[in-house]
Structure 1
């Protein structure tokens, strides 16, 4: 039986917005100032891929919002392989469906009781409120 408290759409969206502001905006300013292309995309990808692996399932935005990514099987933080599934495989699906799967995924988080999205199912993860 799952005893985790799943994080819903708005708190997950808020964490994403915080990550974009705290990490994305400074990266974009630095990349623009240096005149380099794609550095923001590469560093942002590495940030979202590696930070949860190295920081117990958190990104900065998730930490501020009090939510984190865990593996559904054991409640442990995601591994690198788990995060690769979550980002690359799911990203390919979202791209191949021209964003339709992304809309379906957001609807799943909003409507499902377990609040799991397509990328959560692919990687065997869930986003939960941290236990106090």
Structure 2
């Protein structure tokens, strides 16, 4: 694993994704459904974004691209659908089942571990790196 990325860069990328993608998505879903921004449509659409965009953009989301970090498999290769499914969907289920405690544990793992991997990274066999993709 080369150049693993720690807590602050990952947090920054997540905040940028929330501002650039999440807020407009919530507004659009609110207009479509006339419900609060915590609607089922917002959750599903955000999950699809987190699952599909890294597949199409060599591990980047919009926030990660701005920060200069991306998701890769443990061997450094690009992520595939099954990898992202495990990372995003199964990871989200685990974090939900632990009532958010898993998120807190993951934050400490990214901040304190040498390899900077969170629980969802272990589930999927991924890590976040600052290395650009090899084309």
TM-score normalised by length of structure 1: 0.92
Residue correspondences, number? 129
| Contact 2:47–2:89 (CA under 8 A) maintained in structure 1 | no
Among 13, 16, 23, the alignment partner of 2:14 is: 16
Deviation at 1:34, TM superposition (A): 2.4
The answer for unaligned runs of 5 or more in structure 1 is: none
How big is the shift at 1:85? Answer: 0.5
Q: CA deviation at 1:44?
A: 0.8
Q: Note the aligned Cα RMSD (angstroms).
A: 1.4
Aligned-residue offset at 1:101: 1.3
Q: Report runs of 4+ in structure 1 exceeding 3 Å deviation.
A: none
Q: CA deviation at 1:90?
A: 1.5
Distance in 1 between residues matched to 2:42 and 2:129, nearest whole Å: 28
Runs (5+) with no aligned partner, structure 2: none
CA distance in 1, matches of 2:23, 2:90: 26
Residues in 1 aligned to 2:99 and 2:32: alpha-carbon distance in whole angstroms: 32
